[in-house]
Chains A and B, each alone.
Chain A
Amino acid sequence: ETGVTQTPRHLVMGMTNKKSLKCEQHLGHNAMYWYKQSAKKPLELMFVYSLEERVENNSVPSRFSPECPNSSHLFLHLHTLQPEDSALYLCASSQEPGQYYNSPLHFGNGTRLTVT
């Protein structure tokens, strides 16, 4: 298996549920990212990890909790979400963090999250 794999593809959860999104990359990259994609809005960078260390947190509410146990795996733990959190959540990886000119992002297919 190659590339960036995200599971599940779809997730419906109530506001009181706890769920987790999973991302796995098979590219040997050192950096991993979580993005939020909402309709008619630019992609929003949520978190950046470099070699399992969080290097960027863009003012994301604490109901989103990332975890990076190793350089190949990234999780997004969800708790007490709001309906406005419904979106496509994209995971990405790159060889190095931030050097987009020579280390392009490789995206997974995303998890479509619906909060009811």
Chain B
Amino acid sequence: AQSVTQLDSQVPVFEEAPVELRCNYSSSVSVYLFWYVQYPNQGLQLLLKYLSGSTLVKSINGFEAEFNKSQTSFHLRKPSVHISDTAEYFCAVSEIQGAQKLVFGQGTRLTINP
């Protein structure tokens, strides 16, 4: 069975600073990888996903994540954050074959300080 570990429960950064939210996964088979974002008082929404092909995937609001198979990681980055990026970010993994369950990490709360 697959599992996801988000190494930081909280990440505080200043506005316009870069940020990296870490995600590592464990699986015995190939996986799809996802980042979901939960803004305050809202449900989760898909931010970006890796299915195949280029290991670097990007969202429309400036986030990007890179799939690293050898390190089993899918870290999320943004070169310059904005106050509106304040949210909780969840990494998730789904095995390509088999039960295809979607397993979430514990979440990382990103707080942007002015």
Contact = CB atoms under 8 A, between A and B. Distances in A.
A110 B99 CA distance: 26
A92 interface: yes
B: interface residue count bin: 20 to 34
B46 to A, nearest CB: 5
Interface stretch (B11-19, B60-68, B77-85, B103-111): B103-111
Contacts of B103: 42
A40 B36 CA distance: 16
Chain A, interface SS category? loop
B49 A105 contact: no
A45 interface: yes
Given A100-B100, A104-B46, A110-B43, A42 B34 contact: no
Interface of A: 4, 6, 40-43, 45, 90, 92, 98-101, 104-110
